[in-house]
Structure 1
Amino acid sequence: MNSSQFDVIIIGGGPGGYVSAIRAGQLGLKVAVVEAAHLGGICLNWGCIPTKALLRASEINHLLHNLGEFGFAADNMRFDLAKVVKRSRAVSAQLSAGVGHLLKKNRVTVINGFGRLDGSEGDNRRVSVTPTKGGEALRLLAPHVIIATGARARVLPGLEPDQKLIWSYREAMVPTELPKRLVVIGSGAIGVEFASFYRNMGSEVTIVEVAERILPVEDAEISDLARKAFEKQGMKILTGAKIVSVSKGADTVTLKVEAGGKTQEITVDRVISAVGIVGNVENIGLEGTAIEVDRTHIKVDPYCRTAEKGVYAIGDIAGPPWLAHKASHEGVMCAEMIAGRKVHPMDPLNIPGCTYCRPQVASVGMTEARAKDAGYKIRVGRFPFIGNGKAIAMGEPEGLVKTIFDAQTGELLGAHMIGAEVTEMIQGYVIARTSELTDEELKETVFPHPTISETMHEAVLAAYDGALHF
C-alpha cells in the first residue's frame, strides 16, 4: 500500500470539498481530495446546476406560449426534449471540467477512489483509499481530515426508484419523453422545482405533501402565495397527505392518497420522489472513532469540528441547512482554521435559501412564526410586486417581499420573498444580517430605479408604515 503525507485530506469533491481544497491550496497547504465519482459532486453534476438549465428552458417555453402579452405572435411552437436535456448535461460537464482545472491550478492532488478513516499514526490521521478503477490501495496521512461525503435521496418503502415508473432526481433530470401526467411526492425545494419544470413544459402535475403546507420550511405567508401561484398554473396540490398504496402497471402508476379525510386514487405516467435526504455516513470509517452520528448526520461544533481530534465534517453530511453555499462556506472556514487564521463560526440564520420554481422563492433568517415563538416583539413589512414599475414592465406583477424586524432594536430578524428574480435579490438582506444593519441603515440605503429590488426597500419602509408606492 502506497503512503503519502499531506497537511489536509478531504473526503468528497462536492461544493464543500473542492472549495475547501482550493482555499487550503491558496493558503499554502498540501492538499489531497479523494472523490469516488465526479468533481463538483451531486450539486454540480446532478443537482443545483443542471436543474437550473432545465428550469431556464421551461421558463422560455412558458414565455413562448405567452408571447401575446408582449405583442408577439408565433405559430407551431415546439421543443426538442432531447436537446433540452443535452444542454443541461453539457452545462454540468463544462463546469465539472472547470473544477478540475481550479484544483490543478491550486496544486491540489485529486485521487479518484473511495476514502475512509483508518486510524492514526502519531499526530496524523490515516485515510485509506480504494481506487475507483482498481489498482493498489493507497494510504494517505495528514493531521487534518475534512469529511465532505454529502447525502443521497431518501427512499420511502414502496416508492423505491425503478428508473422507469418511479423516478429519483437523476431520472427526472434526463427524461427521454415528457410524461403527460406526473405526481411529485414532496414539496421542498427539489420537489417544487421539478413540479415547476414539468408543468411549464406541459405535463399535468400533482404535488403530494405530508405537511400541512407546501414549502414547509418557508414563512407560512410565502408558502400560501406559492400554492396559489402553482394552482393558478394548473397544478393540483394535496397537503396533509399520506400515500396509502402504490400499484404499478405496464406504463402507469396508481397511487392511493389520503388527504383531508378523503381517500382518492391518482393514476399517472410517472412519479418523482423528493422526500428529503440521507447523509452518506456508511463505509467512511466512523466506527471506532469518537464521531457522533444523529439521524445519518455527523454532529459538529460551530467550527465544524467533530468529537474526533483533527476530523471535521462539512456540508450535507453535517446537517441542515442542506445547501451548496453553506457547504462551501464551511469548507473555507475549515481551511482557514487549519491554516491558523482566525475565523468566525457560521450562523445558520445568515444562510439564504433559494428555490428556483416559478415564481421563485428566497429567504433568510427567521420566519414570522419562529420570531414570535422566540419571544420577539416584531414589526412586519410587506410590499407586493404590483406596486413596482419594473415588475409590471417585465410582465411579472405577482410577488411579495416581507420583512421582519425586532420592534425594540430594529434588527432584521428575517426576510422572505416570492416573485421574479428574488433568488438574485435575497443577497441584499443577507448582507444586511451579516453586517448587523438595523432598520435605520436600511431605510437610508438608496436602491436604483427602476429595479425590482426597490421592493426590498419598500418592504423595510412598510414595517414602519412608510411604504411610498402602495
Structure 2
Amino acid sequence: MNYDVIVIGSGPGGYVAAIRASQLGLKTAVVERESLGGICLNWGCIPTKALLKSAQVFEYINHAAEYGIKTAEAEADFAAVIKRSRGVADGMSKGVQFLMKKNKIDVIMGTGKAKPGNKVEVKAADGTQKDYTATSIILATGGRSRELPNLKQDGKKIIGYRQAMVLPEQPKSMVVVGSGAIGVEFAYFYATLGTKVTVVEFMENIVPVEDEDISKQLLRSFKKAGIEVMTSSSVESVDTSGAGCKVQVKTASGMQTLECDIVLSAAGVVANIENIGLEEVGIKTEKGKVVVDEFYNTNIKGYYAIGDIVPGQALAHVASAEGIICVEKIAGHKPEPLDYNNIPGCTYCSPEIASVGYTEKAAKAAGYELKIGKFPFSASGKASAAGAKDGFIKMIYDAKYGELLGAHMIGANVTEMIAEIVVARKLETTGHEMLKSVHPHPTMSEAIMEATADAYGEVIHL
C-alpha cells in the first residue's frame, strides 16, 4: 500500500496528526502496536484523572459535615475505583477508533519501524511482517517511565505508573520517588484513599519545574493532608527480599531507612527511540531525542518526528499541536511554529497546579524588571463558599512594557483557568488590559484580575 502519510504511534501526537492529514486530503495510515490513543488515553492523562476524581469524591464525602451534610462513614472500594478508571480509558480508546473510521484512516496494528526509501515495516503480533510506503513518515512513538539505575522496576514491589494504575489491592504504605506531575498525582490519590505515603525528591523543592512559591504551597497542603515529603534526598537502594520494601534514603543529615509495601518510581519519562529504524535511516538524535527543525523535519527528507521523542515539553497537548503543525507544513500550508514558552502545564493533585510562561526566577534571570502580584484564595468569596481556600494566583509582568510574562496558580480547578492566560499571552495582552478586563463575581477566575491589581498597587480585596 502506498500512502501520502504514515504515522507510527497513535497517541495524542500521532492520531491527531493522522486526522489533520486526512482532513487536508492526504491518504493516511496509522501504525499502533497496542491500543489506539497511546499511553495518554490508555495509561496516562485520562485514566489517572478518573482515579483522581474518585479520590476527590471520597474526600468530599469525608468532609461532608463541613458543608452541613450528614453521611454514613464512607469506604473506598479500591477494585471498583480501578475498574472505573479502566472503563473511562476504554471508552476514550473506542472514541479514537471511531475517529479513525470517520476520517477514513487505515489503522495498521503491529510494531512499526522506519526503513530507508520512505518505507515502514510493520511486524504484527503473530510475527508476520509487511512493508508499506509513504511520501511522508511521521514518528510519534511517545515515551515510557524512566528507570533509575538503582531502582529497577520489577512490576510488583518497585513499580512504574502503569502498575500504579492497576494494583490488585491498595497498599498500606508507599514511597513515591520523584515529585513531578506523575509523582504528586499518585501521592495524592493513594494518600486520600488511606495509604501512608512518603514522597522522596532529589531537588530542593517538590514539583521542581514550578515557581518556588507554588512548590512551597503544595508542600504545606501535602503536609496538612498527612503526606510526608523528603526533599534534597535520593533513594540509594531498595531491599525487596522481605515481605515489603526497605528503602535506603540519603538525606542532608545522613541515611534513613523507610519501610513500605510498594515503591513507585516516578522519575519522569524517557523517549521511545529504540528499534524504530533511526539508525538504519540515518536519522540524527541528541541527548536521547530526535533532532528536528521548527516544522518537525528530521535530517532525512520525508521523515518527521513529533511528541515525547523530540525536544520540548513531554505533554499531550504539545504533541497534538506539533502533529497539526507538521502535517499542515507537509500539505503545503504555512503554519506558525509552536511557541514553547507559551505552553500551559497542569498537575491534577489537590490542590491543582497550573502554570505558563516564566517563573519569577527565570524572568529575573532573563533580565526583566518585574511587577508581581499575588491573590490568595482565602480572600476569594467563591473559594470560601466552595470550601477550597488553599492556594493562590501569582501574576508576573514586565515592569517596563506591561508584558504578561507568566502566571502560576495553585488551588481548586485552576487547570480550567490557565487557558485564559495562554490566550492573553498569545494576543500580547498587557497588565493594564488584564486589569481592566471585567471578571465575573463570584468566581475563582476573578483572582487573576485581583492578582494583576496587586501587581499594579490597585488591589481592592486584600
Relative to the length of structure 2, the TM-score reads 0.98
What is residue 264 of structure 2 aligned with on the other side? 272
Equivalent of 2:358, from 366, 386, 395? 366
1:130 pairs with 2:109: no
Alpha-carbon distance between aligned partners in 2 of 1:274 and 1:367, rounded to the nearest angstrom: 23
Structure 1 residues 389-408: aligned runs within 5 Å: 389-408=381-400
What is residue 154 of structure 1 aligned with on the other side? 146
Query: What's the CA shift for 1:320?
Result: 2.7
Structure 1 residues 66-465: aligned runs within 5 Å: 66-120=63-117, 125-135=118-128, 137-465=129-457
* CA deviation vs aligned residue, 1:235-288 (integer Å, no higher than 9, x gap): 111111122221114321011111122211100011100011111111111114
* CA deviation vs aligned residue, 1:68-120 (integer Å, no higher than 9, x gap): 11011222321211111100000000010010110110111110011111111
Equivalent of 1:8, from 2, 5, 9? 5
Structure 1 residues 57-72: aligned runs within 5 Å: 57-72=54-69
Alpha-carbon distance between aligned partners in 1 of 2:222 and 2:126, rounded to the nearest angstrom: 46
What is residue 21 of structure 2 aligned with on the other side? 24
Query: What's the CA shift for 1:190?
Result: 0.2
Alpha-carbon distance between aligned partners in 2 of 1:133 and 1:461, rounded to the nearest angstrom: 63
Q: Is the 2:177–2:235 Cα contact (8 Å) retained in structure 1?
A: no
The amino acid of 2:307's aligned partner reads G
Alpha-carbon distance between aligned partners in 1 of 2:381 and 2:59, rounded to the nearest angstrom: 22
Q: Is the 1:165–1:251 Cα contact (8 Å) retained in structure 2?
A: no
* CA deviation vs aligned residue, 1:161-211 (integer Å, no higher than 9, x gap): 222211111111012221111100000000000000001111111000111
The amino acid of 1:98's aligned partner reads G
* CA deviation vs aligned residue, 1:400-453 (integer Å, no higher than 9, x gap): 100111111111111000000000000000111112111122122121111100
Alpha-carbon distance between aligned partners in 2 of 1:83 and 1:332, rounded to the nearest angstrom: 37
What CA RMSD, in Å, does the superposition of the two structures yield over aligned residues? 1.1
The structure 1 segments of at least 4 consecutive aligned residues displaced by more than 3 Å after TM superposition are: none
What is residue 52 of structure 1 aligned with on the other side? 49
Larger mean CA deviation between 193-202 and 138-147 belongs to 138-147
The amino acid of 1:358's aligned partner reads S
Alpha-carbon distance between aligned partners in 2 of 1:198 and 1:116, rounded to the nearest angstrom: 38
SS in structure 1 of the partner of residue 191 of structure 2: helix
Query: What's the CA shift for 1:290?
Result: 4.2
SS in structure 2 of the partner of residue 341 of structure 1: coil
Alpha-carbon distance between aligned partners in 2 of 1:89 and 1:98, rounded to the nearest angstrom: 14
Alpha-carbon distance between aligned partners in 2 of 1:183 and 1:22, rounded to the nearest angstrom: 41
Q: Is the 1:159–1:166 Cα contact (8 Å) retained in structure 2?
A: yes
Alpha-carbon distance between aligned partners in 2 of 1:291 and 1:462, rounded to the nearest angstrom: 50
1:39 pairs with 2:32: no
Alpha-carbon distance between aligned partners in 2 of 1:5 and 1:453, rounded to the nearest angstrom: 50
Alpha-carbon distance between aligned partners in 2 of 1:208 and 1:336, rounded to the nearest angstrom: 43
Q: Is the 2:150–2:236 Cα contact (8 Å) retained in structure 1?
A: no
SS in structure 1 of the partner of residue 408 of structure 2: strand
Larger mean CA deviation between 350-359 and 302-311 belongs to 302-311
SS in structure 1 of the partner of residue 238 of structure 2: strand
Query: What's the CA shift for 1:133?
Result: 3.5
Larger mean CA deviation between 318-327 and 125-134 belongs to 125-134
Q: Which runs of 5+ in 2 are unaligned?
A: none
SS in structure 1 of the partner of residue 447 of structure 2: helix
Relative to the length of structure 1, the TM-score reads 0.96
The amino acid of 1:306's aligned partner reads T
Alpha-carbon distance between aligned partners in 2 of 1:231 and 1:304, rounded to the nearest angstrom: 43
Alpha-carbon distance between aligned partners in 2 of 1:162 and 1:321, rounded to the nearest angstrom: 28
Query: What's the CA shift for 1:9?
Result: 0.9
SS in structure 2 of the partner of residue 143 of structure 1: strand
Query: What's the CA shift for 1:467?
Result: 1.4
Alpha-carbon distance between aligned partners in 1 of 2:65 and 2:243, rounded to the nearest angstrom: 37
SS in structure 1 of the partner of residue 93 of structure 2: helix
The amino acid of 2:212's aligned partner reads A
SS in structure 1 of the partner of residue 199 of structure 2: strand
Alpha-carbon distance between aligned partners in 1 of 2:375 and 2:115, rounded to the nearest angstrom: 55
Q: Is the 2:295–2:326 Cα contact (8 Å) retained in structure 1?
A: yes
Sequence identity of aligned pairs in percent?
50
The amino acid of 1:110's aligned partner reads V
Cα distance change, pair 241–95 in 1 and its aligned pair in 2 (3 A): same
Q: Is the 2:115–2:281 Cα contact (8 Å) retained in structure 1?
A: no
Alpha-carbon distance between aligned partners in 2 of 1:274 and 1:292, rounded to the nearest angstrom: 28
The count of corresponding residues between Structure 1 and Structure 2 is 462
Query: What's the CA shift for 1:228?
Result: 0.9
Alpha-carbon distance between aligned partners in 2 of 1:260 and 1:140, rounded to the nearest angstrom: 56
Alpha-carbon distance between aligned partners in 2 of 1:317 and 1:303, rounded to the nearest angstrom: 14
The amino acid of 1:398's aligned partner reads D
